[in-house]
């Protein structure tokens, strides 16, 4: 499975390297270019492209959000997933952290710590 919040060239590279019967989940287009999936390539590699607009679940099926959050919490607690956290910043550094996110100067998650 490929999770693609970028689109553009990243989408193109992802669809070229996706495994047989893979799934490419389109989450956004932060690159600014909305990609297109050629049907012939989908057929030859037998993969699917699925769009995911997470925010719609709040109005269409709000229970899914809570279920997904609980499932992710269990996976994390059990050590089955380890999100990449590149930095932890105090609340006073939140504005600078958001600037680094906006300019793509970060890798992984940036965690803002409450209370400081």
pLDDT digits (tens, 9 = 90+) for 18-27: 999 999 999 9
By the 8 A CB rule, do 111 and 88 touch? yes
Q: Which domain holds residue 45?
A: 2-82
Calpha distance 30→101 (Å, rounded): 12
CATH number at residue 31: 3.40.50.720
Q: Is the pTM above the cut of 0.75?
A: no
Q: How many domains does the chain have?
A: 2
Same domain (yes/no): 70, 42: yes
Same domain (yes/no): 101, 78: no
Same domain (yes/no): 70, 104: no
Q: What is the pLDDT of residue 116?
A: 60
Same domain (yes/no): 102, 46: no
Same domain (yes/no): 64, 94: no
User: Nearest-5° angle of CA 80, CA 81, CA 82?
Assistant: 130
Q: Does position 105 have pLDDT exceeding 70, yes or no?
A: yes
- 69-95: average pLDDT: 95
């Amino acid at each position: 499975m490929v999770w693609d919040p970028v689109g553009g060239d990243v989408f193109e590279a992802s669809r070229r390297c996706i495994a047989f019967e893979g799934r490419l989940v389109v989450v956004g287009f932060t690159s600014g270019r909305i990609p297109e999936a050629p049907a012939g390539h989908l057929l030859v590699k037998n993969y699917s492209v699925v769009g995911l607009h997470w925010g719609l679940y709040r109005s269409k099926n709000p229970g899914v959000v809570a279920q997904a959050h609980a499932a992710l919490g269990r996976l994390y607690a059990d050590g089955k997933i380890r999100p990449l956290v590149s930095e932890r910043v105090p609340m006073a550094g939140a504005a600078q952290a958001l600037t680094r996110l906006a300019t793509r100067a970060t890798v992984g998650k940036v965690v803002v710590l409450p209370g400081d």
